[in-house]
Amino acid sequence: MKASVQVTVIGAGIMGHGIAQLCAQSGFQVSLVDVDRTALDQALLKIETSLQTLVKKGRRTQKEAEEILGRIRPLTVLEQAAGEADLVIEAVTEELNLKKKVFADLDRLTPPDAVLATNTSALSIAQIALATARPDKVIGLHFFYPVPLSSTLEVIPSLLTSPETTEAALVFARTAGIEPFVAKDFPGFIVNRLLPAFINEAFNLLGEGQASPEVIDRLCTLGLGHGIGPLRMADLIGLDTVLSVLEYLHRELGERYRPSPWLKQLVRAGKYGRKTGQGVYTYDKSEIV
């Protein structure tokens, strides 16, 4: 895949803005689409802040930072972004029906040879692909947060994906400086078979009153050598997303993924984590992702 390719990123939230930044840093022209104008404005602000941090650390020049930002075109209307796309990366909310609707629209609006990727955390790539008339061109690209700093991703071909599409996805990842691993189209793929179960049990511990959030997280960072504890990690991912993934894995794979009632309680109260300023922990305005 050449650096002149046009990438359209759909959804400018926690993942979408990072994917757009990564793509622009790799030299791609990026259209970043979100139905929510505020989310789009916030996404651009976060990308700008992140680039300025890189400039301060001497990892990018001011000129490079401006060029990267200049390669990102923010849009609220998909029709304006899709017509020239070579690659689309969908990063909208984790809901199967929403993703199917987005893919049906993409099928109608993008060039017939465009590759359509989803950043779903756990959902079936084949089911999403069947919303289009080109399931051979649909693939999963499961990025990790924070995307511009992450060094790996899962590439998930479904049973309907062509080898050419998988190859194009692998080339894209390597061009972006990321080491890709191919995973099977099975609920949760590889990493999200493990992480949600771990996070869920941390919520059960918390809810049972066995330990405070600080103790749970500190023990996991010091004792297990994890970079971040499970509850802080859940706040970063978004508790709504964690719950959606657990509900899906519970339906598909059974009892071991039954969502913790204490996680549900926080989500029902609108406490989604860092993106809303409150989850397990409370965040001040400067910390909201």
CB of 289 to ligand NAD, least distance (A): 8
Interface with ligand NAD: number of residues (CB under 6 A): 28
Name which of 48, 41, 53, 87 is nearest 68 in CA terms: 48
Selected binder of ligand NAD within 102, 114, 155, 168 (CB under 6 A):
102
232 is a contact residue toward ligand NAD (CB under 6 A)? no
| Residue 15 exposure: Cα atoms within 13 Å on the Cβ side | 21
25 in contact with ligand NAD (CB under 6 A):
no
**Per the structure block, which two tokens stand in for 108?**
């109608």
Q: How many CA atoms lie within 13 A of 255 on its CB side?
A: 0
In the complex with ligand NAD, the residue whose CB is nearer, 16 or 148, is: 16
When the beta carbons of 54 and 96 are compared against ligand NAD, the nearer one is 96
Q: By the 8 A CB rule, do 199 and 229 touch?
A: no
* Positions marked catalytic: 121, 142, 154, 192
Question: Closest distance between ligand NAD and the C-beta of residue 115, in Å?
Answer: 17
User: What are the structure tokens assigned to 179, written together?
Assistant: 């080491």
Cα–Cα distance for residue pair 198/204, rounded to 1 Å:
10
| Binding residue for ligand NAD, selected from 120, 158, 200, 260, defined by CB under 6 A | 120
User: CB-wise, 205 or 242, nearer to ligand NAD?
Assistant: 242
Looking at this protein, which amino acid is placed at residue 16? G
Q: What are phi and psi of 124, to 5 degrees?
A: -70, 125
Helix/strand/coil for 132: coil
Return the range that interacts with ligand NAD (CB under 6 A); candidates 31-39, 125-133, 194-202, 206-214: 31-39
88 lies in the site for ligand NAD, by CB under 6 A: no
Alpha-carbon span 277 to 108, nearest angstrom: 37
Contact 1, 171 (CB under 8 A): yes
36-65 residues in contact with ligand NAD (CB under 6 A) are 36, 39
Task: Find the part of the chain contacting ligand NAD (CB under 6 A) among 4-12, 46-54, 159-167, 204-212.
Answer: 4-12
Comparison of 10 and 129: residue with beta carbon closer to ligand NAD: 10
Tell whether residue 229 is a contact of ligand NAD (CB under 6 A). Answer: no
Q: Which stretch binds ligand NAD (CB under 6 A): 14-22, 151-159, 220-228, 278-286?
A: 14-22
Closest CB 119 distance from ligand NAD, rounded Å = 4
Under the binding rule (CB under 6 A), the answer on residue 16 touching ligand NAD is yes
Between CA 86 and CA 112 the distance in angstroms is: 9
- Residues 239-278, interacting with ligand NAD (CB under 6 A): 241, 275
CB 117 within 8 A of CB 138: yes
Quickly tell me which residue has 């061109």 as its tokens: 137
Q: Return the C-alpha torsion angle 22, 26, 27, 29, nearest 10.
A: -30
Footprint of ligand NAD on this chain (CB under 6 A)?
A: 10-16, 33-36, 39, 91-94, 98, 102, 119-121, 142-143, 145, 237-238, 241, 275
